[in-house]
Structures are given as structure tokens and as C-alpha cells.
């Protein structure tokens, strides 16, 4: 029983993080770059130590990816393309998971039990 509850909790947490990651992926496609710059927090590492962190330039890189400019994306942050692809792959897996569960719940409706891996 506890293992099933833990499994369901982890799945729900993963799906919630996947929704957030989906927003990160979609934002550069729907928001103007100036709005994204205003939404992005100031890098605390850069403010404190005057050096760039591993994620510095990621917002600019994701905007470049949304325009199809992969060279500029790599210039701003070399990890942007692998991260973008990893997040995109996660979104595909999450969508497949939800659609598969929805097919099993055709008449029932959504519940935490429906998301459990034990169906």
C-alpha cells in the first residue's frame, strides 16, 4: 500500500514538473524576448561572485532555438540544445503517459489512482 502511494506521489510530482517544463519550452515561442528577460530572475551566482553560472544565457539560448538559430543558441550557452532536447523528450513521454492513462479511463474520470503505474 505504501509503495503504491509513493509511486502515485512520484508520478504526480513528475507530471507537475512536466507541466512547468512545458511552460519553459513554450514561452520563447509565444512571448516576446523582452517579456522573457523581465521574467527571468537575476543570476545570484553572477551577482555574488561576478562569474557566470552553468545556466547563464539559457533564456537567450531558448529564444534563439525558438527562432531556429541553433548556432546563436550554442554561443549563448552550449548546454541549451541538450537541455532543450531533454525537456522536449520528457514532454513527449509525459504526454504519452497521460494519453495512455486517459485511454484506460475512458468512462471513469481522472483520479490519483488512475495515474498509478499498477493499472
Least confident of 47-51, 91-95, 102-106, 114-118: 114-118
pLDDT band at residue 75 under the 50/70/90 scheme: very high
Q: What is the distance between the alpha carbons of residues 26 and 44, in angstroms, rounded to a whole number?
A: 25
- Ranges assigned E (strand) in 22-83: none
| Cell numbers linked to 78 | 552550449
Q: Tell me what the pLDDT averaged over the chain comes to.
A: 89
pLDDT exceeds 90 at position 108:
no
DSSP string, 66-89: HTT-HHHHHHH-TTHHHHHHHHHH
Q: Do 80 and 58 touch, CB atoms closer than 8 A?
A: yes
Confidence at 1, pLDDT banded by 50, 70, 90: confident
- Smallest Cα–Cα separation from 116: which of 17, 20, 6, 18? 6
> What's the pLDDT tens digit per position in 9-30?
999 999 999 999 999 999 999 9
Where do we find the cell 517579456? 35
Amino acid at each position: 500500500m505504501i509503495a503504491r502511494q509513493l509511486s502515485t506521489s512520484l508520478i504526480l510530482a513528475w507530471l507537475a514538473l512536466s507541466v512547468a517544463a512545458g511552460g519553459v519550452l513554450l514561452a520563447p515561442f509565444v512571448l516576446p524576448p523582452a517579456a522573457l528577460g523581465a521574467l527571468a530572475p537575476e543570476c545570484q551566482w553572477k551577482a555574488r561572485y561576478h562569474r557566470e553560472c552553468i545556466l547563464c544565457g539559457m533564456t537567450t539560448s531558448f529564444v534563439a532555438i525558438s527562432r531556429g538559430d541553433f548556432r546563436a543558441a550554442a554561443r549563448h550557452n552550449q548546454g541549451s540544445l541538450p537541455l532543450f532536447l531533454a525537456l522536449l523528450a520528457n514532454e513527449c513521454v509525459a504526454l504519452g503517459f497521460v494519453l495512455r492513462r486517459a485511454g484506460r479511463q475512458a468512462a471513469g474520470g481522472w483520479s490519483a489512482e488512475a495515474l498509478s503505474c499498477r493499472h
